[in-house]
Structure 1
């Protein structure tokens, strides 16, 4: 089975991300598509395992295998958590609906560290641009402000909302270079401080709900195995924990 077949035939959830999901799209914005596919369980039983992710087959398209996606979400990877909360869903089956129903199980105080690390990495890139060119790449500065705002609000409310809503005009003014770098930098510092202050009183749990996610993954793998080989006595016996062919 080719990687593109996994995306085409086994996607359980697909959405639009980037500026369109953030409510920041303009006429020249790309359409970034992200998805989750469920590789059939028997593919894991050989020496050659299915891929953990697939780039394509469409332009600006990237998909993760379900287990890898859950693993990253449990680590509070910002890109993965935001993918789970996209308002622009393009494809969704019953397994995908169950995944979305688990969104809260992935949220925890780990998000403070993961979002902060990601923001610091982006800030270093922006600072390098300022040193080299006297100004940042304004689009990157806008998206960092959005990320910092998202992280602060997540810590304050315990809920992740990625659409900027009525803040759109202010963010786009930054993208157009209409706000001075000094002011943008000041906002970044203030948002980081507000996020840190929100941490002690956040409603988020200390850890994600590993048990719920593990149960979901186990049941999904088991169902896939039984569906793929519904008439195969040996496979069913292994999956169900029974003893097959023994008298």
Structure 2
């Protein structure tokens, strides 16, 4: 395995971490090119819990990024200090990150993930404090996803680190008690997504295709 790009993601990257928060890592790797020539394709994802780390093979990461998967896409938009591995090929990928974006995929992915968080916080048990804490966490993620998705739609930039994490925490607490506030946030986001944004209708797959070919060439076995 050759890790091309890896960094710290999740609550630490967003500015929402607290004492005791897990440190989540995300990365992408290149499988040896010769492994694609047999009956079975190489493993496309590796997930560990000690440490908490997810690694995607380069082609899988590109497919996820072209669908604007929020969890995968943030790897190419991290603040510089959060990268732990940043190879030349990883640097190239950061350089083409905007080519993965498209209007429909951003809307579907970010609103879709935010709606999932709304369903989770709406199913809370008000009499159970643990359930309420989980609801507040879901609400914080809902707020983050809405903000990130709208920023992409309106500016073409993915903002990983929240500028006002304390306000997001406070809003999460209020939404845990009053889910209708979160419903209002979603309704407002849908209205803004209905307006014209800056993203193209479809992603430009050309840069990703060229980059993957360079990755495969770089990881061919050396001549005997």
Match of 1:29 in 2: 21
What is the distance in 2 between the residues matched to 1:66 and 1:192?
35
What is the distance in 1 between the residues matched to 2:9 and 2:38?
34
What is the distance in 1 between the residues matched to 2:48 and 2:40?
21
Match of 1:91 in 2: 85
Q: Say whether 1:122 aligns with 2:117.
A: yes
Match of 2:39 in 1: 47
Match of 1:141 in 2: 139
Match of 1:20 in 2: 12
Preserved contact between residue 112 and residue 199 of structure 1 (Cα < 8 Å): no
User: What SS is found at the alignment partner of 1:50?
Assistant: coil
What is the distance in 2 between the residues matched to 1:192 and 1:50?
42
Match of 1:209 in 2: 204
User: What SS is found at the alignment partner of 2:219?
Assistant: helix
Q: Which runs of 5+ in 2 are unaligned?
A: none
Match among 57, 63, 70 for residue 71 of structure 1: 63
Match among 133, 158, 161 for residue 159 of structure 2: 161
Preserved contact between residue 14 and residue 90 of structure 1 (Cα < 8 Å): yes
TM-score (norm 1): 0.80
CA distance 1:132–1:40, shift in 2 (3 Å): farther
CA distance 1:172–1:207, shift in 2 (3 Å): same
How many residues are matched? 218
- When Rg is computed on C-alpha atoms for both structures, the one with the higher figure is 1
Preserved contact between residue 7 and residue 84 of structure 2 (Cα < 8 Å): yes
Over aligned residue pairs, what C-alpha RMSD do you find? 2.2
CA distance 1:90–1:185, shift in 2 (3 Å): farther
User: What SS is found at the alignment partner of 2:124?
Assistant: helix
Match among 83, 96, 100 for residue 106 of structure 1: 100
- Say which is worse superposed, 118-127 or 206-215, in terms of deviation: 118-127
TM-score (norm 2): 0.88
